[in-house]
């Protein structure tokens, strides 16, 4: 079995103070030697400049980085310009997503789905970029059915994706079943599980409601029982997510993608238990 590849995700800071904090976070997480860092992209491209600036800073530090690229609200012309800027900056890796419509957007732009964006990137840039796409082991919240969701994923891969990163989840069986179904559908690219550390119960519930990630009932009740005891929430959360990550790796997952939330401590604590 190949050595698992670990990667870490940030969101672009919106203030100078946030940028300083992220530099400190990245310095600590760089000590873990991840394969690359990824940087998210706001709805409708609202953080496009911050995403690119953050990725450039990571590259300048000698590490690999991948900007997220959303096609929602974009045109061929605007996306062509972004891709040219990525290439000029020496970026070789990108996470291609449909993205969510921000409030107030009436139209989705020239691209409706992520597979169309992947096709466009390949047509414009050939093999320049290593393209990651999203996968949803527990089904995308807007999908008509699990079957439709799987077919959408297959289309993204067939359009030219090199690998996939999943939405976070806490049920390993959902991941293993999704991978099995994807393989039966002809998908051969790596499907890397997304890992969300548990540090804040209220925040986790809010995120999970938005993205459709299921929190197992026993985990939810246990977290709720701790109330404002943040130390117990973090300790229990670390145990839960460590067990999940260990099972995923033992079951053949090609690596792990950590949603850091721009904090070093939760990802570091998890990493130290896994190595």
Active site residues: 9
The angle, 0 to 180 degrees and rounded to 10, between the axes of the packed helices 48-60 and 76-88 is: 20
Strands (E) across the chain are located at 5-10, 36-39, 65-70, 93-97, 130-135, 163-168, 191-195, 255-259
Using alpha carbons, select from 63, 34, 65, 71 the residue that is nearest to residue 52.
Answer: 65
Tokens of 23: 């530099």
How far is 139 from 160, CA to CA, in rounded Å? 21
User: Can you tell me whether residue 227 is helix, strand or coil?
Assistant: coil
> How far separated are the first and last CA of the chain, in Å rounded?
16
């Amino acid at each position: 079995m190949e050595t698992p590849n670990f990667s870490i995700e940030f969101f672009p800071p919106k203030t100078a103070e946030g940028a300083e904090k992220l530099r400190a976070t990245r310095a600590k997480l760089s000590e873990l030697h991840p394969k690359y860092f990824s940087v998210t992209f706001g709805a409708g491209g609202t953080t496009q400049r911050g995403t690119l600036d953050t990725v450039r800073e990571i590259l300048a530090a000698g590490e690999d980085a991948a900007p997220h690229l959303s096609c929602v609200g974009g045109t061929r012309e605007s996306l062509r310009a972004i891709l040219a800027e990525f290439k000029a900056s020496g970026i070789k890796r990108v996470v291609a997503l449909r993205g969510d419509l921000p409030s107030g957007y009436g139209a989705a732009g020239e691209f409706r789905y992520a597979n169309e964006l992947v096709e466009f990137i390949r047509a414009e840039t050939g093999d320049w970029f290593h393209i990651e796409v999203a996968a949803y082991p527990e089904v995308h919240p807007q999908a008509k059915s699990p079957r439709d969701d799987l077919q959408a994923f297959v289309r993204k891969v067939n359009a030219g994706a090199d690998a996939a990163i999943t939405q976070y989840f806490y049920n390993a069986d959902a991941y293993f079943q999704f991978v099995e179904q994807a393989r039966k559908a002809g998908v051969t690219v790596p499907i890397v599980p997304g890992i969300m550390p548990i540090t804040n119960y209220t925040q986790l519930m809010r995120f999970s409601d938005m993205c459709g990630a299921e929190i197992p009932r026993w985990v939810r009740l246990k977290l709720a029982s701790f109330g404002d005891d943040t130390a117990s929430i973090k300790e229990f959360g670390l145990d839960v997510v460590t067990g999940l990550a260990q099972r995923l790796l033992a079951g053949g997952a090609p690596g792990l993608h950590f949603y850091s939330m721009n904090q070093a401590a939760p990802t570091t604590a998890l990493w130290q238990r896994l190595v």
